[in-house]
DNA sequence: TCCATATGTCGACGATAGTCGACATATGGA
DNA sequence: TCCATATGTCGACTATCGTCGACATATGGA
């Protein structure tokens, strides 16, 4: 991931409403939410929300899919992954000993042993 | 990491000069660089750079240490780690199956087998 | 003390971002 | 076709940001 794309992504997330949108859509993976629902749940006018969704979309962090009259927005997990990699890879460049503590802190988030075929109670 | 701190960090990195500073300081881990050196290497006036360093510092991404007349800036790797965790943890919340592909892409950055006691040629 | 070096702070300017009313477009049903 | 619903675009306003000249502060040496 080149710096220009990373800056777009960082800028998109550096705003409270958009960060809230990001979190909300993450919670609604993998089904996503219609634009209007996002606006209603966060108490933001639909046109303001449309602008924010466009920013997140241009940054590649979310994607849109039309379903009849509504447009469903979903997080693009690959983009999130790339952004996290960008953060960490800049640290790793030539210095694995610097990167090690970073990955050590990230790993407990998803214990590999419990990830496989562990049903999620919903 | 709460959202407010994350927004400060994202905003700090969402600017080309500051992202360049971040990368430059990462390359100079663990010794760091004096403020004047950072300004000179990136071709930015010292007072403009001072402002940018202050933004990165307020965001907690870098730290400063006085050494006689110069002030050495270094990346706070713990903050980088927290920010990466923030990105990924939002995805993991209750959904480890969503997080797995993210960590899978991050891991090859630092192959665990080569991290231990591998001398770095400098 | 006086001066040079290193860095930070202030103030003003132009540029960009966030908000929202008003209007435009797209879809589906009567 | 006409209307209601869902979403996007435009334009204007205010607020905040990035830049940099000028000045201020801090440190060490003569």
pLDDT, one tens digit per residue, over B12-41 is 999 999 999 999 999 898 899 999 999 999
B83 and A82 in contact by Cβ < 8 A? no
Does at least one atom of strand C sit less than 7 Å from the CB of A95?
no
In this structure, what are the phi and psi dihedrals at residue A61, rounded to the nearest 5 degrees? -80, -25
Mean pLDDT over the full length of chain B: 82
User: For the residues A41-51, what does the mean pLDDT come to?
Assistant: 97
* Residue B97 DSSP symbol: H
Instruction: State the pLDDT at residue A102.
Output: 61
Is B96 in CB contact (< 8 Å) with chain A? yes
**CA A79 – CA A67 distance, rounded (Å):** 23
The domain spans of chain A are 3-78
Q: What is the pLDDT of residue B78?
A: 85
Residue A68's region, left for phi above 0, alpha for psi from -120 to 50, else beta, is: left
Distance CA B30, CA B43 (A): 23
Residue A15's pLDDT band (cuts 50, 70, 90): very high
Mean pLDDT (whole number) for A46-68: 96
Cα angle B90, B10, A49 (rounded to 5 degrees) comes to 70
pLDDT at B115: 36
**How many percent of chain B have pLDDT more than 70?**
72
CATH 1.10.10.10 given to domain B3-78: yes
Percent of chain A with pLDDT over 90: 56
CA atoms of B92 and B38, how far apart (whole Å)? 37
Positions of strand D less than 7 angstroms from a protein CB: 5-10, 17-23, 26-28
Higher pLDDT, B119 or B51: B51
Going B44 to B48 to B50 to B56, the CA torsion angle's sign is negative
Instruction: Determine the pLDDT at residue B99.
Output: 63
- Asked if pLDDT for residue A95 goes beyond 80, the answer is no
What does the pLDDT read at residue A29? 82
Nucleotide C18: nearest residue by CA–C1'?
A: A48
> Rounded to a whole number, what is the largest CA-CA distance in chain A?
52
Q: How far is CA B43 from CA A38, B21, B34, B84, in A?
A: 43, 11, 14, 29
Q: How confident is the model at residue B100 (pLDDT cuts 50, 70, 90)?
A: low
């Amino acid at each position: 991931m080149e710096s220009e794309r990373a800056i777009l992504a960082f800028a998109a997330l550096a705003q409270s409403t958009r960060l809230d949108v990001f979190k909300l859509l993450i919670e609604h993976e993998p089904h996503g939410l219609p634009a209007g629902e996002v606006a209603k749940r966060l108490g933001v006018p639909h046109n303001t929300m449309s602008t924010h969704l466009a920013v997140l979309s241009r940054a590649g962090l979310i994607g849109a899919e039309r379903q009849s009259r509504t447009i469903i927005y979903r997080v693009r997990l690959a983009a999130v992954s790339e952004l996290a990699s960008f953060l960490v890879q800049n640290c790793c460049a030539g210095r694995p000993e610097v990167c090690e503590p970073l990955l050590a802190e990230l790993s407990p988030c998803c214990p590999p042993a419990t990830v496989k075929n562990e049903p999620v109670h919903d």
